[in-house]
Structure formats: C-alpha cells, structure tokens
C-alpha cells in the first residue's frame, strides 16, 4: 500500500520476563516463539502490506544495535533511539516527524513490538482496511480486539455505533477509552459485547497526527516538527538529545486519545495476545498430561501445572505444583504461577545487591 | 601412633545429592563445607594421629584420579580402585591385605569418606583409644555415636555392659547390630539410652580381621591374602580385576559383624553426621529469619524454609515454601524438602533420556 508506514514502538523494560528478559534484553528480544524474537515477528507479519523500508522502529538508545540485529531487514536509518524513557506519546510524535520527513501524505500505523498474533492474514487485511479508512479523512483509527476472557490487564475501548465495513473489517465510533478494569467490571464488559481490548495500535495520517498534537500536546507537536525538519541522522539524534530530558513522560492515551473526538475503532477478529506474563506465555505452548508446560530440557515426576523455561540446562521437578521456573544464563526465578507478576518487587531487591547489575 | 593405619572407604554413587553430585562426582567430592571436598576433610581430620602416608583409600576404579586430586597428600600408591561395586566387605578385605603387606602388626581403622564431624579433637582421642583397645587383643572395635534424635536412616548398635574407659572413651560390649528402625522403635532406642548410631567405623588388627574373614567369609579371606601377597601396583590391579567380578556384593555388617562375638563399642561423644540428604546438609548452615538456607547467590521474597544451593548463578525465590533447589553447571533440581530422598526415582527417568548421560 502506497503511503502506508509502520512505526513499531520497541521500548520495554524487561521486568516481567526476568530473568529471560533483562534491562539489556527486554521482552521484544525474547525468542520463545518459533525461536525468533517478538520484534522480528512484528516486522515479518507486515510482509506484503508494508515493506521493511517503510518500517520505522523507535526504541531506547541503548537498544538500537540489538534492535537492528533483530529487525535485520529494516534499514538502519529507520531505527531511532530515544535518549531516555518518556512513555508512548513522545515516541509517537517522533514517529510522526520521521514519516512526514519521508512522505507528507504518509499514513502511520503505530504498532507494538512485543505481542503475538495468530491469523496474521486477517490482521493484515484489517490493517489495510484501517489504513484506507485513515487515508480518506481525519480519523484516528484504533484496533479493538474482541475480548476472549475478562482480562483485567488491558485497557478497553467502548465501541459506539457501527460505521461502514471495509473489505473484512467492521468499524465503529470509539466512544471512549477505559482503563484496566477490576474483575467484576471486566466480566460485565465481556458480557455486554461492546467493549474491546485496546491493543495500542493507531492508524492515522501524519496530518491528522500533527493536528492532534497541536491541539492537545503542543510540546509534542514542536518535537514532531523538529524531527521532520532534521536532515541527517546526526541532526535527528541532536534534536532528540536536546528535547527529551525536559519532556514529561506521558502515554498517547492520556496525551491525545482521551481528548480526541475523531476516533474510529476497527474490530480486530484476529488472535491477539499481549503475552504479559509467564502464564500467558505458557498458553501458547502445549502442556503435558499433568498440565506442565516445559520449554527446553525438562524432566518431571509427580508434578503438575508448572511452567518451566529451561534453555541450556536440564530442569528436574519432583512433586511440585503450579510453579514458574525460568533460567537465564546466570539467574533462576522460582515462584508460584499466580505470583509471577510480582517479580518487579523482587527485582528491586536484586538490583540493590552489590552484584545486582549482573542480573537485572 | 605407630602401627595405626586408616582405610577410607570412598565409593559412593552420587544419587542423593544430584545434581551437585553425579556418578562421576559422588558425595565425597562435594565442596559445600568450608569449600573443601568431604574426602579431603576425612583425611585432614586424622592429622597428628595417622599421617597421610599411612592412609589408604579404596574407591571405584573410575574415581581414582579424582580421589588422588581431592586427597592430594595421600600417596598415589595408597589409593586403590575397585573394578566394580561389591559393597563394603570386599573393600575392607582389600584394605586388610594392603595394610598387612605394609605392616603385619598394623591396626586398621576403617573410616568413611563422606561424613561430617564436629569436635574433631574428641574424635581423634576416641580413635586413639580405640586403636589402643584393638592393638591389645582381638577385639573388633566399632564407634557408636550417641543419638541426638530418633533417626530412622541409620543402623544402631545395642550396647551391653560397660567395659573399661580409655583416656576419654567409654567402651561397652556391643550386644548386637540392628538395622534401620521405624520411627517408633527409633524413639524407644533414644529414650532407652543404650542404643547408639552405627557410624560404620571399625578398628581392628589385621590379624583379627583375617581371622574374622576366615571364619565368616572365606572367599574374602582369600582375596585379602592375594592382595597381601601382590607386589607391584600392577599385580594388585590384576588381582582385583580377576577376583571382583565373581564376588558377591555384601556389607561388612552382614559378612562379619552380625556373626562376630568379640565386638566392642567405643562411645563417640563427638558430633557426627552422615549428611545423607539435602535437609541434613542444610542443618550445617545458618538459616535466614524466614528459615531459608541459601548457599551461594540467592535472593528471596516472602519465601520460607527453602534450601537453595546456587553456585555460579543467582537464584531468586518469590512466595515459595519448603523447597529444595539445587543447581549444577548443567542441571537444576526442584522438589519439596520432605521428598528430597526420592530423587533416585527421578534419576532413573533422567538416565533414560537420549541425552541422559550428560546429567546423571
């Protein structure tokens, strides 16, 4: 599709999948699925729709080299490193500037680096429909995923009246974005049938983006302009280094989406998973008869419902239940699966060790 | 002490402490205590009483080189490898022959390679008293350890009438050897006050030994003679290779002690531990406030009563209780502490893997 550009946001802190992911190797570099990093899958799934030379990646400065290695077919000049973490809105402003610099009529697909999708063909068709919808007007198109369970870990989009239907995609007015709900509310959302998971994907023309930033976040509009006006990579780096430290950290939801009126939701009927925790990783692998998901060399006896990631070593379980066991080259995590998301607290403790830097 | 010789039995299969110990590195080579192998501690604790040149070690043929490295101050010619496993009685017959060849008036202290002792000075004095007792007559002196809890994992010695007292040691007639008791019986033994742990240490003159073998196990008496008559190391090896395959596997308790009348028990008032399992290893280390024993680099949060052996890696526990976690270079064991002794069954399963040899 001419004028269609992808911008993959690939920051990530590496805490949730510690010790397999670390600060130096966040989630998008994990190669659990098909032996390829999630980032590489994110580029590949655009194949046929948006070629790698029209893919941009915004990542942390310190991750640029590893990002270039994982997304080996994306031109090096399309990979931009942020000098510090400022959440999604500044990254998207930079992305907008990058695309404008290349193509003022560009339609920008903001995508994420660290999610898994199944039925990729449907994803591509939905994205194509969304690009077409965005190209024709000033809509901010966002993807809403049909919820398959009452997730409390995602934000939701409250979908309003049905609009037109694209080649495969039903569009709705997006009434509002709602934050992560409690379990009761999530269950009501799923029953109600008009709430969809906010997948953090946005498709809009650069002009629409610029107008939105100008209206709701003037500092980011200025950043976008300066990026668009920068010539060489060195100039771009200088712009970022000068601008970033004084920017506030703010998500695109808070900076723009909550205020914008012209948001259209594309119903995504493809499989989508944030793979936000070890139990959700396990959901993508088949379990043994005792419910154990064992990735790598494992042996178990009288053990049930464990998740083991064992690369380059044998993990032997005897009589244990419901554990997550993950090894990296130099560290091992052991916790009950229902507490896997508390690892962040543990990491603060580990980081405080004299030798903590080796591990986190 | 002139004429006193030590024979350390250092076979061992390496199953109980898997994966830290393996077939190629049995328990006596584990360096958990003071960073030194148990075997090396066993030689060292004789210091002053029996010098290394009067220490013999009987081990498996395949372990001779590693044994020589761990017991570096014992002359290489004093280390003998058995061509196959035949339990303790044949090893002791070989030991008897070795000492006879060197010194027909030798008093042989049969000791083990893989136990921990505290109050080593008392041990040495007790051993000296036992040697003196053995030297003066035809007694088989055995060490009985005052039980500190109703252990079901050891055999017991039923101590009869008190005999003389050595410099520090009270001697008793040994009425009989009893096998590992059940918990009820063990509790009665401890209350009764005249049952002592059979520590598997025997102190006797070579002549006493020969007579006992001739009377109760003629095939072993013959083995002992042939060892005593062998000249070079090559001749000795040839004797063992010829004799061992057709020997029955039998313990010294069954072969001799249950039949012998002249057994005297020396009461050992020193600390003695068989360190037969991970929980008993843990007993030799101090625990954190939550009852966790963590050897090596570990970090825990809301975890209680775990035993972690973490060399060359960080182990991080979150919200787990009562686990044993042990890493070797290429394998990790995780099980509840009360099931640590079932690891043998798990090992059979691991050995059956196509790559099993790498791990067991």
At residue A21, does pLDDT exceed 80? yes
Portion of chain A with pLDDT greater than 70, in percent: 100
Q: A350 to chain B, minimum CA–CA distance in Å?
A: 7
Which chain A positions have a beta carbon within 8 Å of B314's beta carbon? Answer: 19, 330-332, 350, 358-359
Q: How far apart are the first and last CA of chain B?
A: 41
Q: A243 to chain B, minimum CA–CA distance in Å?
A: 39
Instruction: For residue B189, report the phi and psi dihedrals to the nearest 5 degrees.
Output: -60, -45
| CB spacing of B332 vs A332 below 8 angstroms | yes
A11-15, A180-184, B17-21, B101-105: which range is least confident on average? Answer: A11-15
CA nearest neighbour of B330 among A38, A297, A303: A297
| DSSP structural state of residue B22 | B
ipTM confidence: 0.85
Bridge partner residues of A165 (DSSP)? A170
The whole-chain average pLDDT of chain B stands at 94
Average pLDDT over residues B73-83: 96
- Please spell the DSSP secondary structure of A22-47, one letter per residue: BTTB-GGG---BTTB-HHHHHHHTTT
Average pLDDT over residues B253-279: 92
Hey, is B42 helix, strand or coil? Answer: helix
Structure tokens at B164: 């003389």
A344 interface with B at CB cutoff 8 Å: no
Whole-angstrom distance, CA of residue B9 vs CA of residue B11: 6
**Tokens 């002792």 appear where?**
B117
Whole-angstrom distance, CA of residue B18 vs CA of residue B25: 10
Structure tokens at B1: 């002490």
Q: B341 to chain A, minimum CA–CA distance in Å?
A: 10
At residue B285, does pLDDT exceed 80? yes
What confidence tens digit (pLDDT) does each residue in A211-259 have? 999 999 999 999 999 999 998 989 999 999 999 999 999 999 999 998 9
At residue A285, does pLDDT exceed 90? yes
Hey, is A144 helix, strand or coil? Answer: strand
Structural domains of chain B in order of their starting residue, each with its CATH number: 4-273 (3.90.550.10), 278-358 (no CATH)
User: What does each C-alpha distance from B202 to B43, B142, B178, B215, B330 come to in angstroms?
Assistant: 16, 5, 16, 18, 38
Q: Identify the band that residue A274 occupies on the pLDDT scale cut at 50, 70 and 90.
A: confident
Average pLDDT over residues A101-120: 94
Taking CA–CA distances from A302, the nearest residue in chain B reads: B346
Which chain A positions have a beta carbon within 8 Å of B19's beta carbon? Answer: 314, 316
Which chain A positions have a beta carbon within 8 Å of B277's beta carbon? Answer: none
Q: B313 to chain A, minimum CA–CA distance in Å?
A: 5
What confidence tens digit (pLDDT) does each residue in B163-173 have? 988 888 999 99
At residue B247, does pLDDT exceed 90? yes
H-helix or E-strand containing B325?
strand B323-327
CA nearest neighbour of A140 among A101, A171, A104: A171
B332 interface with A at CB cutoff 8 Å: yes
Which chain A positions have a beta carbon within 8 Å of B309's beta carbon? Answer: none
Mutation pick from B19, B299, B345 vs chain A, by most beta carbons of A within 10 Å, is: B299
What confidence tens digit (pLDDT) does each residue in B53-62 have? 999 999 999 9
H-helix or E-strand containing B299?
strand B293-301
Average pLDDT over residues B17-27: 92
| CB spacing of A301 vs B330 below 8 angstroms | no
Average pLDDT over residues B218-241: 95
- In chain B, positions 209-238, which contact chain A (CB-CB < 8 Å)? none
Cβ-contact A27, A326 below 8 angstroms: no
Q: B278 to chain A, minimum CA–CA distance in Å?
A: 14
Residue B143: count of CB within 10 angstroms of its CB: 27
Mutation pick from A303, A314, A327 vs chain B, by most beta carbons of B within 10 Å, is: A314
Mutation pick from A16, A17, A18, A301 vs chain B, by most beta carbons of B within 10 Å, is: A301
Instruction: Find all residues with CB under 8 Å of B344, minimum gap 6, and list them.
Output: B15, B16
Structure confidence at residue A35 (pLDDT): 84
At residue B14, does pLDDT exceed 80? no
CA nearest neighbour of B130 among B208, B217, B59, B193: B208
Whole-angstrom distance, CA of residue A127 vs CA of residue A95: 18
What confidence tens digit (pLDDT) does each residue in A140-150 have? 999 999 999 99
| CB spacing of B313 vs A331 below 8 angstroms | yes
| CB spacing of B297 vs A355 below 8 angstroms | yes
Residue A192: count of CB within 10 angstroms of its CB: 9
Cβ-contact A308, A294 below 8 angstroms: yes
At residue B280, does pLDDT exceed 90? no
Residue A54: count of CB within 10 angstroms of its CB: 23
Q: Helix axis angle, A218-229 relative to A206-216, nearest 10°?
A: 140
Whole-angstrom distance, CA of residue A136 vs CA of residue B341: 71
Structure confidence at residue B15 (pLDDT): 85
């Amino acid at each position: 599709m001419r004028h269609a550009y992808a911008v993959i946001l690939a920051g990530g802190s590496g805490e949730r999948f510690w010790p397999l992911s670390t600060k130096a190797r966040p989630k998008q570099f994990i190669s659990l699925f098909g032996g390829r990093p999630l980032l590489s899958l994110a580029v590949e799934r655009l194949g046929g729709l948006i070629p790698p030379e029209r893919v941009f990646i915004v990542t942390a400065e310190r991750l640029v080299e590893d990002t270039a290695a994982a997304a080996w077919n994306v031109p090096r000049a399309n990979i931009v490193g942020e000098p510090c973490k400022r959440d999604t809105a500044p990254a998207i402003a930079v992305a907008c500037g990058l695309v404008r610099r290349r193509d003022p009529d560009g339609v920008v697909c903001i995508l994420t680096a660290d999610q898994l999708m199944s039925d990729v063909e449907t994803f591509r068709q939905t994205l194509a429909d969304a690009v077409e919808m965005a190209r024709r007007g000033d809509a901010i198109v966002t993807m809403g995923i049909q919820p398959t369970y009452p997730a409390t870990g995602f934000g939701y989009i409250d979908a309003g009246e049905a609009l037109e239907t694209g080649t495969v995609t039903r569009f709705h007015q997006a009434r509002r974005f709602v934050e992560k709900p409690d379990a009761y509310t999530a269950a009501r959302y799923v029953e109600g049938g008009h709430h969809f998971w906010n997948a953090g994907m946005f498709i809009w023309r650069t002009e629409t983006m610029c107008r939105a930033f100008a209206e709701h976040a003037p500092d980011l509009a200025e950043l976008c302009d300066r990026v668009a006006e920068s010539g060489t990579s060195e100039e771009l780096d200088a712009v970022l280094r000068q601008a970033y430290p004084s920017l506030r950290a703010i998500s695109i939801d808070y900076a723009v989406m909550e205020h914008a009126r012209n948001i259209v939701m594309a119903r995504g009927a493809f499989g989508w998973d944030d793979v936000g925790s070890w139990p959700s990783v396990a959901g993508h692998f088949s379990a043994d008869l005792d419910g154990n998901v064992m990735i790598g060399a494992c042996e178990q006896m009288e053990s049930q419902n464990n998740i083991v990631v064992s690369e380059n070593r044998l993990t032997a379980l005897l009589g244990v239940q419901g554990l997550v066991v993950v090894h990296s080259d130099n560290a091992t995590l052991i916790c009950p699966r229902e507490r896997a998301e508390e690892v962040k607290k543990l990491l603060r403790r580990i980081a405080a060790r004299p030798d903590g830097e080796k591990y986190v």
